[in-house]
Amino acid sequence: MKMIAASAKIHPLSVIEDGAVVGENVVVGPFCHVGPKVVLHEGVELLTHVVVTGRTVIGRGTRIFANAVIGGDPQSLHHDGAETTLTVGEMCTFREGVTINTGTTEGGGKTVVGNHNLLLANSHVAHDCILGDHIVMSNNVMLAGHVKVEDRVILGGGSAVHQFTRIGRQAFIGGLSAVSYDVIPYGMLNGNPGILGGLNVVGMARAGMEKPAIHEVRRAFKQIFEGEGSVRANAAAIRDDYTGSVAVMQILDFISAESDRALSSPNRGKG
C-alpha cells in the first residue's frame, strides 16, 4: 500500500510502487519510478525520468534532475544480494545522470550522503561511501566504493577517487585528478597521479578563517611534509605545539587515524 501525502503532486505518467512513502509537498514529474522501499521526505522533487529504488531515504527538500538513478544495487562482485541501504540528507541537489548505489554487506551495508551537497551531471557515488555536508562534486566525478569525503570538499570535474580513500574536510581536488591516497583536511591535490600541492588557502579564507590561523596551518604543513622524519612521525612530534589550533588538530587527527590507504604528499607520485 502506498503512503502518499495529500499535498504531494504526482504526475500521472510516473510510477509509485506499493510500499513507497511520499511526504508532504513532494513533487514527482513525468516518467519517474519510485520503488516500494523508498521514502521521500517533505519537499523532495524528482523532475523527470528519475529512478529512486532500493531501500533508500531521501531527505527534505532534495532535488533530483533527469536520468538520475538513486539507490541502485552496488556494482560490486562481492555483493551477496542482501538488502542494504542508501540515506540522503536534506537540501541536496543531484543533477542530470547522477548515480548513487546502496551499500554492501561486507562494507557495513549502507551508503550515506549528508546535507546540502551538490552533485553535478554524471557524477557517481559507489557503494559504502560516506559523504559529509556541503560537498561539491563537479561533472563526471567518480567515487569508488568505501570512500569517505568530509565536509565542504570540492572535487573538480572528471576527478576519480580510489576505493577506501579518505578526503579530509575542505580539501580541494583539481579537475581530472587521480586520487589514489588519502588527502589531508584543507589539502589541495592535482594531477595524475595526484600530488598534494599545498593547502586550499582560498577556501580557508572564504570559510572565514582568519590570516593568523591560516599561517598556523601553513607552518604546520611545512613541518609535517618537509621535516626529517616520516609524515606520521613529524605530525606526532608537533601535536603539543598546536593544541590551540582547531584546523591543525584536524589535520593531525586525520593523519594519525587508521586507514587502508597511504597519505598523499608533495612527493608521492613524482618520478
Across the chain, mean pLDDT equals: 97
- Provide DSSP, 127-163: TT-EE-SS-EE-TT-EE-TT-EE-TT-EE-TT-EE-T
pLDDT at position 271 = 45
Q: How crowded is the C-beta side of 186, counted as CA atoms within 13 Å? A: 26
Q: Give catalytic residues, as residue numbers.
A: 127-128, 145
The angle formed by the CA atoms of residues 254, 79 and 167, to the nearest 5 degrees, is: 15
pLDDT band (50, 70, 90) for residue 269: low
Taking residues 197-209, report their average pLDDT.
96
Which neighbouring-strand residues pair with 131?
113, 149
Evaluate if pTM is beyond 0.75. Answer: yes
Q: Determine the Cα–Cα distance for residues 35 and 20; give it in Å rounded to an integer.
A: 6
pLDDT in tens, 242-265: 999 999 999 999 999 999 999 999
Instruction: Please determine, for residue 270, whether its predicted confidence score (pLDDT) is greater than 80.
Output: no
> By CB neighbour count within 10 A (0-12 exposed, 13-18 middle, 19+ buried), where does 181 fall?
buried
Q: For residue 75, give Cα distances in angstroms to 14, 47, 99, 108.
A: 26, 25, 11, 15
pLDDT in tens, 145-192: 999 999 999 999 999 999 999 999 999 999 999 999 999 999 999 999
> By CB neighbour count within 10 A (0-12 exposed, 13-18 middle, 19+ buried), where does 270 fall?
exposed
Taking residues 84-109, report their average pLDDT.
98
pLDDT in tens, 29-66: 999 999 999 999 999 999 999 999 999 999 999 999 99
